Amino acid sequence: MIYQWIGVALAPFLVQALALVVDEFHCHYKRSLPRWERIGHPLDTLTVLVAMSLPVFSVFGEGTLLAFIIAGLVSCFFVTKDEWVHSRECSGFEHWLHAVLFVCHPMTFVSAAFFWVLRDRPSLLSGREEAAALASLVLNGQFVILSGFLSYQVIYWNFFRRRVSVANAESSLPAKQSTSVGQQ
């Protein structure tokens, strides 16, 4: 029975990952990202990483659970900060993806809490040692994936893609006409 719950708890991570991949590699690449998004999106990921660091690096308990809930709530509200501007910048499809991400966001924290309890207190969930080891793998894997995604967001959008976007913008400008005396 515990493995069915593990499958259910993995679902929000998988749906969120799929929506995020489409948003990032389809929508963002298609329209590129202005400076406020190149800074804001990594900050969104950082709030998730801070919250997810609690189950990864601490033992489940009342105090750490409270800190996790607060960090998760801060992250859930923080990620909505750009929607005022997205309303002008994004397609309807991208808005829909954001809605899916907003629904999955708190669900991933609930799933992380489930895996945290399963790892540290498997008897509470009728789990066995193998299930606890799997829970640890999920939490650590999620943390590594988030860390990698944060690194990608900072490096790609702020160093590599920014230069490409600036170069493309400059090359697409019309050539200036020379105003020297001999031309008419």
Domain span holding position 48? 2-164
Q: Give me the pLDDT at residue 153, please.
A: 94
3-state secondary structure (DSSP) of residue 27? helix
Pair 174, 50: CB distance under 8 Å: no
Kindly report the pTM of this predicted structure.
0.84
In a domain, 127, yes or no: yes
Q: How many domains does the chain have?
A: 1
In sequence order, what E strands does 65-150 have? Answer: none
Pair 48, 176: CB distance under 8 Å: no
Q: Give me the pLDDT at residue 162, please.
A: 59
Q: Give me the pLDDT at residue 2, please.
A: 87
Q: Which residues of the chain have pLDDT under 50?
A: 164-184
Q: Give me the pLDDT at residue 160, please.
A: 84
In a domain, 183, yes or no: no
Q: Give me the pLDDT at residue 167, please.
A: 43
3-state secondary structure (DSSP) of residue 159? helix
In a domain, 135, yes or no: yes
